[in-house]
Amino acid sequence: MLNTADLLDLLNTCGDPVEVRAHDAVVSVEAFLALDLGLEGVICKNLLIRDKRGLYLLVVRATKSLDLKALAGALGTSRLSFADAAHLEHQLGTWSGALSPLALANDPDNQIELVIDAALRAERRVLFHPLDNAVTVSLTMQTLEHFCERIGHAARWVEVPERQR
């Protein structure tokens, strides 16, 4: 399994320059939003979800409220639920609060499908933790896509439904 340093080395071969900042560890979106990192990009939340057929890594804007029932329909499945934390450590070498699409470098057997909200496609840069919630990277969407293709996890872009309040 790759560690953070190896992952950053790989990421730096995938396109535009990647900006990296070390900071205090964060375990929630709220704590992350409170940081002043001076990095350009949209903060994303990354969720490991599952259905009866397998696992999905879902990437959406951090402020989006999800409608899992409607998302199941968009993905062509009957029911979605959150995967347990054991999958994160066992399959991706990371933990809750540090999950991102970059962790898929540790899934060479393609056990997990990457699903990215189509609303993020228009963003110039995105922010993720590279296997460690005390480090954040800012990368262009083009670099993210090139990275995902290189590791064999091309993104499936889906209109992710928002829960009505």
The predicted model gives 71-79 an average pLDDT of 93
Give the pLDDT confidence of 107-123 residue by residue, as tens digits: 999 999 999 999 999 99
How many residues does this entry show for the chain? 165
The CATH fold assigned to 4-158 is YbaK protein (3.90.960)
When the pLDDT of each residue in the chain is averaged and rounded to a whole number, the result is 93
Positions of E strands within the chain: 19-22, 42-50, 55-61, 81-82, 112-117, 125-128, 135-140, 156-158
Give the pLDDT confidence of 100-158 residue by residue, as tens digits: 999 999 999 999 999 999 999 999 999 999 999 999 999 999 999 999 999 999 999 99
Instruction: Give pLDDT, residue 88.
Output: 81
**Cα–Cα distance list, 36 to 20, 73, 94 (Å):** 13, 37, 24
Cβ–Cβ < 8 Å for 137, 144 = no
Percent with pLDDT over 90 in the chain: 80
pTM of the predicted structure, to 2 decimals: 0.94
Instruction: Give pLDDT, residue 45.
Output: 92
